[in-house]
Amino acid sequence: MKIDPGGIDSCIVGQIKYAGKKKISIIGITSSSSIPLGIWGTCQIGGVETAFLPVARFARSEKGGVLNKVPHSVRFARGLIRYRKVIPDQLCQAHRIETGMVLSALQRRYVQFLHNDSTNLVGNNSDSRWKNLGPLYAIAEKVAVRNAEGLAVFNRTYGQRLLRVRSGVMIAQTWFDPELFFTNPQRPEPEQGDILRVCWVGRFEQQKDPLLAVQTLFELRQEIPNARMTMIGSGSLYDLAIELARKIGISDALDARGAQARPEVAKEMRSHDVFLITSHYEGSPTVVVEAQAAGLPVVATFESDPDELLEEGTNGIRVKSRDPKVLARKIVESQRYDSAECSRAVLHRSAEVIVPKLLRIGIG
């Protein structure tokens, strides 16, 4: 089974890999026509053999066709209902509100994971299907949250709001995998005339604002002509970002790699000098932690660092302006940051520290 390097997938993989003696089973989807639905099997996730029950068949990247008019989350929820009799009566994790609603209807015990603030999911910069369905989302969220055994909320502001209305809320933090994300011990200090290498990782969707990253590279090149940027990810704005780079004359400086597995992302980070994140909103962004663990200073739009991990002068810069000229200027400033200091700033966010705490939610 292939796990794409998205936020929810990274959360699941990290828990399986660092669960210790605990065993985690996966109920999910498959794109393979040779794997039967509704029958338990096994797969390798994070190097761990894991029990796997596929309840729906589709590729998340598929486009077109009648079936694609039905949201993937709805197709998954329908599979949960269809194969409910083979789902054991154990504590489950729901990583989407729709899943929590179904588990609630099936009277199953579950912990609800909330990866983004609901106000952002239905806001103007959302790429979620819930964007224009705010009242319906509020109802769905109320049901899923009310009936959960516990809540793991990857957003401090959202978590604090929920703590005012119910107990059993953990304001959760994302983590980095120390086996993958570590500093390059032979990273050379930048010198005059060196190429400045910027790394950007994310979905090419409105929330992540990849077009702002391209515009920032243009402005950066005005000051540092040999600056380059690697963009890793895929999505509906991928072709538009490439076209924008062509129109403003920086195609030669932009290396768009498409989606990459986590080990490849880590390797790329170690070969770059600074990490840029341009999101309109985030929950608790994994890539910010991973980039620092790899020794990169991070330049982030203000909304990209809700955990307030970045401390100017130490490990990164949180920029209130979304002006690409301002972001470019901050990237130039970040060159003076020490790689080892960036890495030390997130030692407390290692998977070995965070995952065991997360797995205690809803128990006891």
- pLDDT > 70 in the chain, percent: 89
> What does CATH list as the number for 197-345?
3.40.50.2000
CA 17 – CA 351 distance, rounded (Å): 9
pLDDT of 6 reads 55
pLDDT of 65 reads 44
26-30, strands of its sheet edge to edge: 26-30, 48-57, 41-45
Phi and psi (nearest 5°) for 49?
-70, 125
CA 242 – CA 217 distance, rounded (Å): 12
**How many Cβ atoms from other residues are within 10 Å of residue 314's Cβ?**
14
Alpha-carbon 324 to chain mean position:
23
Please say if the pLDDT value at position 82 is more than 60: yes
- Supply the Cα-derived Rg of the chain in whole angstroms: 21
In the three-class reduction of DSSP (H, G, I as helix; E, B as strand; rest coil), residue 328 is classed as: helix
| Residue 109: C-alpha distances to residues 11, 115, 224, 263 (Å) | 20, 19, 55, 34
Tell which wins on pLDDT, 2 or 152.
152
Residue 195 token pair? 């190429």
Q: What is the pLDDT of residues 7-34, one digit of tens each?
A: 788 899 999 999 988 899 999 999 999 9
| Residue 102: C-alpha distances to residues 28, 119, 124, 213, 247 (Å) | 14, 22, 27, 38, 47
> Class of the 7-176+353-358 domain?
alpha beta
Please say if the pLDDT value at position 69 is more than 70: no
pTM: 0.88
pLDDT of 83 reads 97
- pLDDT > 90 in the chain, percent: 72
Q: Do domains 7-176+353-358 and 197-345 have the same CATH topology?
A: yes
Please say if the pLDDT value at position 169 is more than 70: yes
CA 55 – CA 187 distance, rounded (Å): 46
Please say if the pLDDT value at position 4 is more than 50: no
- Could you state, in order of their start, the residue ranges of all structural domains in the chain? 7-176+353-358, 197-345
In the three-class reduction of DSSP (H, G, I as helix; E, B as strand; rest coil), residue 275 is classed as: strand
